[in-house]
Amino acid sequence: MSENEDLQKSFLDTVKFDEKGLVPAIVQDHETGKVLMMAWMNHESLLMTLEKKKACYWSRSRKKLWLKGESSGNMQDVHDILIDCDGDTILLKVSQKGGACHVGYHSCFYRKVTKALDMEICDTLMFNPDDVYGKKS
């Protein structure tokens, strides 16, 4: 076994998947540090991410692997993968092509709570989701 394979095995052995076989992944822009999104990964999606250096997640609603950008073209090239001290959260540092959010914003965290406890948009709209995913009836 090569040193790289040994490190991958060591890393994968460190990940604490929950009872459903999932681990949360926080996704951050590798240049700015801006948090782009949070998604779930299973063992297979984590392996695919390690191998392809493209972010792959597990869709809980569709119950299948989800290569980020497969529908929209808004891929995530993975620069770094970090794991927290407890081994139960992954941090991906990525280069985001287009918007990370499925409603068209650069980040899924595009709404900020105001002093009046309302919300305001605090991010850039990158694309029209109807144009990318089709209109929902």
pLDDT tens-digit readout, 62-85: 999 999 999 899 999 999 999 999
Residues 62, 66, 70: CA angle, nearest 5 degrees? 120
Q: Could you read off the pLDDT of 101-119 as tens digits, one per residue? A: 999 999 999 999 999 999 9
Give the C-alpha separation, 137 to 134, whole Å: 9
What is the average pLDDT value for the chain, to the nearest integer? 93
Using only C-alpha atoms, what is the Rg of the chain? 16
Backbone angles phi, psi at 121, to 5 degrees: -70, 130
Q: How far is CA 90 from the centre of its chain?
A: 10
Lookup result for tokens 């394979």: 5
Q: 7 pLDDT band (50/70/90 cuts)?
A: low
CB atoms within 10 A of CB 129: 18
Q: Give the length of the chain.
A: 137
Q: What tokens appear for 15 in the block?
A: 């990940």
Identify the pLDDT of residue 8. Answer: 63
End-to-end CA, the chain: 52
Check pLDDT > 90 for residue 133. no
pLDDT value at 132 more than 90: no
